[in-house]
Structure formats: structure tokens, C-alpha cells
């Protein structure tokens, strides 16, 4: 098959297709002349857009990974934050390279290599990718703005807080990560190139700034309660989350407190032609989640 320019239609494998970025990517690619292979561990098509059936993979069975990427030009690789992320991503990278996929677009994370999950996991996967003979693009986004959704219940109960202090973070909308991924996947120049892009929203905010913005939008006083990391850990464990999730959340608070992801890059605009969506826009779109019941 070929497109209107006479070029062969790109065939793209999308791992994590049912997830946050993956599903936004499928929407972004909906009008493009591409063939999509949507990878999932789940054979039901319910979590995928209509018309797309999953290609079922089992990360413990390398042959299923190889079969899923066979004959595709590019692999988009995103994986949820779970214990076997490193092994699973590496297994899929190896399957893709062995199958002759020319370019891998991997979602990583912005920031220095830190001894903190999932930063250390991404450092390990990136290092593995760099040792394989394949073109790749690392997308290193700052923290996703929709992490605020998991704070919404606390906001509406008046108990929102944490150990982020007055540190700032430049939150990014996952739709912008997907738009960048689309641009990179559709780019046919230099498939063997190896690149890394740092992706941020349009400006950094502290949790106190976000509380002020929510107060304005909801027309009521919203407070971010400052806690020590120890106090916050206990609050999180009391909600019933696992130790790993509590530590991931505390890791985020540390990132915010130290303003590790506070810089602003122009990459989203340069690669997509549109400015990144702001955290304030996202709050407006999702305001109902923060309202008192």
C-alpha cells in the first residue's frame, strides 16, 4: 500500500495503546494514512477506539512480542509504572530490533538520572536502547497534569496536601506528549537518528499556585496543607495505597519541592506547531472533579 505521495503507508506498532498517552496517540493519528498495530495484554477491544482490534501480547512470551512488531516500520513504546517495567520494555525493544523495526519512540521521563522510581527504571531502559543498533527518539516529559485528578477527592474534602513545599513543576498535558509522538512517528527523515526531547507545559507552578487557581475557579478557599515527607507517607498509607505507590507519590513531592522539573522547553511548539496546553486549561476542563459534593 502507498499514500498519495507514492510512499509506502507507515505501519506503526503502538504499545500501551489502551493507556493515557497511547489512547491520545491513537486519536491523534486517526486522520493519518498509517496502519496501526495496537498492542495490549487484553484481548477485549473495549479500551481501544472503535475499529481497532488489539494485537495481544504477553511480556513473558517473547514470541508474542516478536509477532506483534513483525513487519512494522516504527514502534511507539510506553508502559505503565509497574514492577516489571524494565524487563517488559527491554523485551519489547529487543523483539523490535530483532524484527527489523527501524525506529523506536520511547516515553521516558524528564530530569537527571535519580535513584528514584521510575527515573532509575528509565535510565536503565534508555541505556539498553542506546546499546542496540536502531534509530530512536526518547520523549522525556515532565510530570503529567492529570496526576492532579488523584488529588481531586482530597481537594473536595479539604485535606489536600503534601511535601512539595513551595517548589515548582512545569506540568504537561498527556495530549501534548501524544501530539509530539505523532509528529515524530510520521517523520520519515533519518529513521536511524537517535534523539532525546524534553517536553514541558508552558510554565511552572507550585502546588500553592494551583490551590490559588482552584480557589479562583471554584470561588472558594482551597488550601494545600504543607506536610513533612513522613507525615505525607502516613496520610497516603492510611488511604490504603501500597508502599510502592506511596513512595512514588513521595518521590513526586521531592521532585516538586526541589523544582527539578521547573524549566520550560519550546519542544512541544517546535514539533507540533501548537503551544503546549496549560495546567490552568486542564483544571478548567476537569473542574467538576474538584467540586465539593
Residues lying near ligand NAP in the complex (CB under 6 A) are found at 16, 18-22, 40-42, 59, 78-82, 84, 88, 107, 109, 118, 141, 143-144, 147
Nearest distance from residue 147's CB to ligand NAP, in Å?
A: 5
Nearer to ligand NAP, 79 or 277 (CB): 79
**Of residues 30 and 147, the one with the C-beta less far from ligand NAP:** 147
Q: Using the 8-state DSSP alphabet, how is residue 126 labeled?
A: H
Q: Pairing mode, if any, of strands 34-40 and 54-56?
A: parallel
Q: Per the structure block, which three cell numbers stand in for 240?
A: 490504603
In 3D, which of 2, 62, 54 has the Cα closest to residue 26?
A: 54
Nearest distance in Å: CB 3, ligand NAP: 28
Instruction: Compute the distance between CA of residue 282 and CA of residue 293 in angstroms, rounded to an integer.
Output: 20
CB 85, min distance to ligand NAP, A: 6
Nearer to ligand NAP, 141 or 276 (CB): 141
Q: Give me the least distance between CB of 82 and ligand NAP, in Å please.
A: 4
Q: Pick the closer one to ligand NAP by CB: 118 or 161.
A: 118
CA-closest candidate to residue 71, choices 11, 120, 115, 9? 11
Per the omega criterion (within 30 degrees of 0), is the bond before 229 cis? no
Contact 258, 169 (CB under 8 A): no
Q: Which residue is nearest to ligand NAP (CB)?
A: 19
Q: What's the min distance (Å) between Cβ of 141 and ligand NAP?
A: 4
Q: Which is nearer to ligand NAP, 119 or 160 (CB)?
A: 119
| Cell, residue 110 | 524528564
Q: In 3-state terms, what secondary structure has residue 172? A: strand
Give Cα 56 distance to the centre of its chain: 21
Amino acid at each position: 500500500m502507498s499514500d498519495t505521495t507514492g510512499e509506502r503507508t507507515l505501519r506503526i506498532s503502538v504499545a500501551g495503546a489502551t493507556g493515557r498517552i497511547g489512547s491520545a496517540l491513537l486519536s491523534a493519528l486517526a486522520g493519518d494514512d498509517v496502519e496501526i498495530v495496537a498492542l495490549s495484554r487484553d484481548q477485549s477491544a473495549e479500551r481501544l477506539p472503535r475499529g481497532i482490534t488489539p494485537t495481544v501480547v504477553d511480556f513473558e512470551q517473547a514470541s508474542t512480542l516478536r509477532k506483534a512488531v513483525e513487519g512494522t516500520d516504527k514502534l511507539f513504546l510506553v508502559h505503565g509504572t509497574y514492577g516489571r517495567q524494565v524487563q517488559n520494555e527491554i523485551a519489547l525493544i529487543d523483539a523490535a530490533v530483532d524484527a527489523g523495526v527501524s525506529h523506536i519512540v520511547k516515553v521516558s521521563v524528564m530530569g537527571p538520572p535519580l535513584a528514584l522510581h521510575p527515573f532509575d527504571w528509565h535510565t536503565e531502559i534508555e541505556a539498553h536502547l542506546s546499546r542496540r543498533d536502531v534509530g530512536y527518539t526518547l520523549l522525556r516529559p515532565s510530570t503529567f497534569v492529570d496526576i492532579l485528578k488523584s488529588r481531586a477527592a482530597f481537594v473536595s474534602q479539604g485535606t489536600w496536601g503534601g511535601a512539595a513545599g513551595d517548589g515548582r513543576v512545569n506540568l504537561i498535558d498527556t495530549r501534548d506528549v501524544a501530539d509530539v509522538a505523532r509528529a515524530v512517528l510520521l517523520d520519515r527523515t533519518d529513521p536511524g537518528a537517535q534523539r532525546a526531547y524534553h517536553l514541558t507545559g508552558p510554565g511552572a507552578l507550585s502546588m500553592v499556585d494551583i490551590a490559588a487557581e482552584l480557589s479562583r475557579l471554584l470561588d472558594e478557599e482551597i488550601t494545600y496543607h504543607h506536610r513533612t515527607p513522613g507525615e505525607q507517607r502516613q496520610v497516603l498509607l492510611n488511604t490504603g495505597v501500597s508502599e510502592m505507590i506511596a513512595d512514588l507519590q513521595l518521590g513526586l513531592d521531592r521532585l516538586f519541592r526541589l523544582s527539578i522539573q521547573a524549566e520550560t522547553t519550546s519542544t512541544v511548539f517546535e514539533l507540533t506547531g501548537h503551544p503546549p496546553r496549560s495546567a490552568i486549561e486542564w483544571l478548567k476542563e476537569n473542574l467538576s472533579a474538584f467540586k465539593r459534593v
